[in-house]
Amino acid sequence: MKYVIIGDLHGMDLSRFENALYRENPDVLICLGDFDQTKTIHQFMGLEKRLLSSGIKVIKVPGNHDHAIFYNLPIYSGTLQKQGKTSQELHLELMADPIAKEYIENLVNSGFSGCTKNRVRIFLDKEKFGEEYPTIIVHGGLDGNLRSYPGCPERIADLWYRLECEEDKLNPNRLKNEKDYRKNFDAMGEKGYKVMIRGHDHEPAYVYNDPSKGIGSHWPKNDGDSYCLFEDRQHTINPGALFDGWFALIDTNVPGYNVPILTYRKL
């Protein structure tokens, strides 16, 4: 199976991505949220409809921007500045568009009894690997840094957890905020996950936990950078922000390999 992973759309035009998506010929599209603008929501809805009619599965989870804009919570980010929008302006835009509003409302309130369901659990290519690769899909994480939303309610913390912060970008060894990655790997182990697919931090990142070697990291810079998802490791995968042109693939049927292969793409 081939999975295409996108996240952090932030108001972008999806036309170029849609062309790239069809070239990849995926079985599943995974979207990690943060739509921001109604034009992007409508584009994604159209894309989703076309994919589903072609037999391609779509998995989506809400982002922190989706939640904040729907509920009119103040949020500030560099991507909003680049769009020339405030969260309040985007909230009014969303409320004035009944179709887009309903789509995001269903996304951020897809749980039960009014609780938000922010995570999806899958097994990567269960037909081929059985339950070897239990995977969690979430916008933020299971644990991490909440400085962008101090006092965040626990029920939505997984939309806001960061595994890196600005100070970590100055770290010369490039393993950003190892303690937060370690906390997430521990939480993954407790909940029985081997793979976490997440967004939120925008920069493409592949970080793994090897039982004998510890935590290792890769920060893809080039279109086509690829990594093996070895079965004896835990893995966190950030496709990078589609807003910046990044997305990722997981292909479980690469000739010569008996493990899933993660590849980064740049539009």
Report the CATH number at residue 258. Answer: 3.60.21.10
Residue whose entry in the numeric block shows the structure tokens 């049927």: 253
- The number of distinct structural domains making up the chain is 1
Residue 103's pLDDT is 97
Give tens-digit pLDDT for 133-150: 999 999 999 999 998 898
| For residues 107-120, average pLDDT | 76
Alpha-carbon gap, residue 130 to 116, rounded angstroms: 29
Give tens-digit pLDDT for 10-32: 999 999 999 999 999 999 999 99
Residue 170's pLDDT is 58
Alpha-carbon gap, residue 215 to 198, rounded angstroms: 17
Give tens-digit pLDDT for 163-184: 976 556 556 555 667 889 999 9
Indicate the range of 3-17, 77-91, 110-124 predicted with least confidence: 110-124
- The pTM score is 0.95
The domain containing residue 57 runs over which residues?
A: 2-266
Nearest by Cα to 9 from 235, 250, 239: 239
